[in-house]
C-alpha cells in the first residue's frame, strides 16, 4: 500500500477542521417594528472559538437567545450537528449539546458553588425522584459520581477552594468561572459565552483567556460575545460582526479588523 500524499493528508486535516457544528441559516427575529435579526447565516466549525461582536443593541444577545430556545425565531433554521434546534425549548437545546452563560450572571445565589454545578450535572443524570427518595444503590452511585465530577469541574475552572461557599459570596470573576463550570457540567459540544470578561480586572481577564484556550484544546467549541476587542481578536479563530441586526462581516480577526464597514460601525479608534 502506498503512503498517502502529503497534500491528501493536509486536505483531510483541513476538512476535519471545517466540520460544521452549528449552522445558522437565514434567521430573522423582530420585536414589534424593530428588526433585531435580519437574515443571519453563519457556521461555527467544530473546535473553533467563534466570536460575535458589534455595537450595543446590534442583536448579539438576541441571537444567543434564539440559539438557546429563549426566543422563537420568525424565519430561518438553526442546527447543531444534524439536530434542528429552532422551535425547541431551552432544556431540549441544552440536552442537544448547546450550553450557555449569561451577560448578567445567573447563579443560584443561596446555593454553594458545588451545588450550582450539580444543578448543571442534573441535565445528564438519569435517576429520577423515586430513586432519590428511596436512596436506591444506583441513585447513590450516580450522586457520588456527580459530586466527584462537579468537584473536578470546579478544579478545572480554578475555583476548587470555593466548593462549599455560597455562590453569592464568591468574588465576581469567580462567579463567572462558576457559571462556566455549571454549563460544562451539562457536557455540551458547544459552549456559548455572553460577555464572559465583563466586569473582570486585567488579571481575571488573562486567567479567563487561558481557561478558554484550555477548553478549546480539550476539544470544546466556543461561541463568544465579547466587547473586549483585544481579548476577542487574540482568542477567536473567526468572528462575525453584527450591526443593527445585520451581519456586516465575517472572517479571521485579521480580515475583520481591517474591514472598513467594521471599523466604521464598531472598531473606530480601536482598529488594529
Ligand X SMILES: Nc1ncnc2c1ncn2[C@@H]1O[C@H](COP(=O)(O)OP(=O)(O)OP(=O)(O)O)[C@@H](O)[C@H]1O
What is the distance between the alpha carbons of residues 264 and 271, in angstroms, rounded to a whole number? Answer: 9
Contacts of 259 (CB under 8 A, 6+ apart): 241, 248, 249, 251
Q: Would you state the cell numbers that stand for residue 70, as one nine-digit string?
A: 429563549
Least distance in angstroms from the C-beta of 102 to ligand X: 11
Work out which of 54, 120, 188, 253 binds ligand X, going by CB under 6 A: 54
Q: Binding of ligand X at residue 100 (CB under 6 A)?
A: no
Total number of residues binding ligand X (CB under 6 A)? 11
Q: Binding of ligand X at residue 104 (CB under 6 A)?
A: no
Q: Which stretch binds ligand X (CB under 6 A): 12-20, 39-47, 55-63, 258-266?
A: 55-63
Residue whose C-alpha cell reads 500500500 in the numeric block: 1
Q: Binding of ligand X at residue 68 (CB under 6 A)?
A: no
What is the distance between the alpha carbons of residues 236 and 210, in angstroms, rounded to a whole number? Answer: 13
Q: Binding of ligand X at residue 31 (CB under 6 A)?
A: yes
Q: Binding of ligand X at residue 69 (CB under 6 A)?
A: no
C-alpha count within 13 angstroms, C-beta hemisphere, residue 20: 13
What is the distance between the alpha carbons of residues 238 and 232, in angstroms, rounded to a whole number? Answer: 10
Residue 15: how many other CB atoms lie within 10 Å: 9
Q: Binding of ligand X at residue 56 (CB under 6 A)?
A: yes
Q: Binding of ligand X at residue 36 (CB under 6 A)?
A: yes
Least distance in angstroms from the C-beta of 54 to ligand X: 6
Q: Which residues bind ligand X (CB under 6 A)?
A: 31, 34, 36, 54, 56-62
Amino acid at each position: 500500500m502506498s503512503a498517502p500524499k502529503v497534500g491528501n493528508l493536509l486536505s483531510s486535516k483541513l476538512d476535519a477542521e471545517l466540520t460544521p457544528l452549528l449552522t445558522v441559516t437565514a434567521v430573522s427575529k423582530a420585536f414589534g417594528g424593530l428588526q433585531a435579526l435580519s437574515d443571519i447565516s453563519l457556521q461555527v466549525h467544530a473546535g473553533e472559538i467563534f466570536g460575535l461582536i458589534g455595537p450595543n443593541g446590534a442583536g448579539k444577545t438576541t441571537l444567543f437567545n434564539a440559539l438557546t430556545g429563549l426566543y422563537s425565531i420568525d424565519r430561518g433554521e438553526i442546527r447543531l450537528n444534524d439536530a434542528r434546534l429552532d422551535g425547541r425549548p431551552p432544556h431540549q437545546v441544552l440536552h442537544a449539546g448547546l450550553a450557555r452563560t449569561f451577560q448578567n450572571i445567573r447563579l443560584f445565589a443561596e446555593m454553594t458553588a458545588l451545588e450550582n454545578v450539580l444543578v448543571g450535572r442534573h441535565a445528564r443524570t438519569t435517576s429520577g425522584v423515586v430513586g432519590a427518595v428511596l436512596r436506591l444503590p444506583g441513585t447513590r452511585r450516580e450522586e457520588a459520581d456527580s459530586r466527584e465530577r462537579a468537584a473536578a469541574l470546579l478544579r478545572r475552572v480554578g475555583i476548587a477552594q470555593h466548593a462549599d461557599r455560597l455562590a453569592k459570596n464568591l468574588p465576581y470573576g469567580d462567579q463567572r468561572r462558576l457559571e462556566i463550570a455549571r454549563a460544562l457540567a451539562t457536557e455540551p459540544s458547544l459552549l456559548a459565552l455572553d460577555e464572559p470578561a465583563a466586569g473582570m480586572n486585567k488579571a481575571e481577564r488573562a486567567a479567563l483567556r487561558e481557561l478558554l484556550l484550555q477548553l478549546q484544546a480539550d476539544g470544546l467549541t466556543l461561541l463568544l460575545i465579547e466587547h473586549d476587542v483585544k481579548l476577542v481578536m487574540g482568542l477567536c479563530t473567526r468572528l462575525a460582526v453584527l450591526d443593527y441586526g445585520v451581519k456586516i462581516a465575517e472572517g479571521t480577526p485579521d480580515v475583520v479588523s481591517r474591514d472598513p464597514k467594521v471599523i466604521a460601525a464598531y472598531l473606530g479608534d480601536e482598529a488594529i
